[in-house]
Structure 1
Amino acid sequence: MPEQTKGTGHIDPGIVEDLGGLTVIRGGGDSRGWNGILYKQGMSAKNVGAQALSINVATVPPGAVAYAHIHEGFEVMLFILQGTVKHTFGEGLQREVINHAGDFIYIKPGVPHEVFNIGEEELIVFVARSAADEWDKIVDYPSQYRPPKGA
């Protein structure tokens, strides 16, 4: 299981190439984890000085759950590169949608949602956020699947 962090996943600025107006991370950088999801380092304010967006590639193991949460004040767009994902969403997580490789997903700010890899392979997703700080504005939402704190 990936290391569990909240907005403090290890950023390795040593792999960032600042070419003077264009910045490169080759191969997506090292992996780090948050909320049951493994992320390539990607780009954000923490390593390239972005001001209003961040991007990552997320990997979710088969059967894993990214526990319910809300994005406060920023939008998220996803592109499913591999696998099958179920999102439960909305008030009380009462709504459900299933997406497959090739699908795009847009999540409005403030919409509660929980992510399930329901496929037999790793779920790989390109993630774009309209926030440069990545996880700092994500808040937990009640989930029947989240282990109790301290467990």
Structure 2
Amino acid sequence: MTEEELSLTGQQNDLSSFVSDEGGIWSLRQVEKIRGWNNIEYGAGLSGKNTPSTGLSMNRAYIPPGGIAKAHIHVDFDVMIYLLKGSVRHEYGPGCRKSVVHTAGDMFYIEPGLPHEVFNTSDTEWVHAIVSRSDASEWQNITPYDRESD
């Protein structure tokens, strides 16, 4: 995976402009896709970049038809996903040799350190998901994974 493929695209710095502090409750209203990472598009989300959060982040994620989020590892944080629309196939584990499919309505958990690659199984439909992480920094603790290394 190249640095360009891993690079963040779109608005990154002023995510606070999408969130309002209501006096201890921080609100994010409906936000369109504004940025991307590893072939996935994201709305602004909630994180340590725009709230006082020190251990959580949450985003709405979109994978285009036929899209692939190249193999990567979440370093030292948990991920829980609620799939709102579409279907994804995870290839995971050493060498990404195992596989599981999730469809709209499914929730799933990804253990810290588990290599995985995510495929939108449709060539016509976008995947929509809510992604929550036990890491307020969002993408900073994600590393690429070489499927051929194991």
Q: TM over 0.5: same fold?
A: yes
User: 1:20-75, CA deviations, whole angstroms, 9 ceiling, x for partnerless residues?
Assistant: 10111111365210110001110000011211100001000010100000000000
Displacement of 1:10: 4.2
Which residue, out of 123, 132, 135, partners 1:131?
135
Corresponding residue for 1:43? 46
- Where 1:92 maps in the other structure, the secondary structure is helix
2:62 equivalent to 1:59: yes
2:18 equivalent to 1:15: yes
How many pairs were matched up? 142
Q: Which amino acid aligns with 2:87?
A: T
Displacement of 1:86: 0.4
CA distance in 2, matches of 1:14, 1:136: 21
Q: Which amino acid aligns with 1:128?
A: S
Corresponding residue for 1:82? 85
The answer as to whether partners of 1:9 and 1:33 remain within 8 angstroms in 2 is no
* Overall identity of the aligned pairs, in %: 42
Gaps of at least 5 residues in structure 1 are: 145-151
CA distance in 2, matches of 1:79, 1:70: 19
The answer as to whether partners of 1:3 and 1:33 remain within 8 angstroms in 2 is no
CA distance in 1, matches of 2:16, 2:6: 19
- Where 1:45 maps in the other structure, the secondary structure is coil
The answer as to whether partners of 1:29 and 1:42 remain within 8 angstroms in 2 is no
Q: Which amino acid aligns with 2:133?
A: R
Please report the TM-score for the alignment, with normalisation by the length of structure 1.
0.87
- Where 2:125 maps in the other structure, the secondary structure is coil
CA distance in 1, matches of 2:63, 2:14: 20
User: 1:61-102, CA deviations, whole angstroms, 9 ceiling, x for partnerless residues?
Assistant: 010100000000000000110001000000000000011001
Please report the TM-score for the alignment, with normalisation by the length of structure 2.
0.88
The answer as to whether partners of 2:15 and 2:49 remain within 8 angstroms in 1 is no
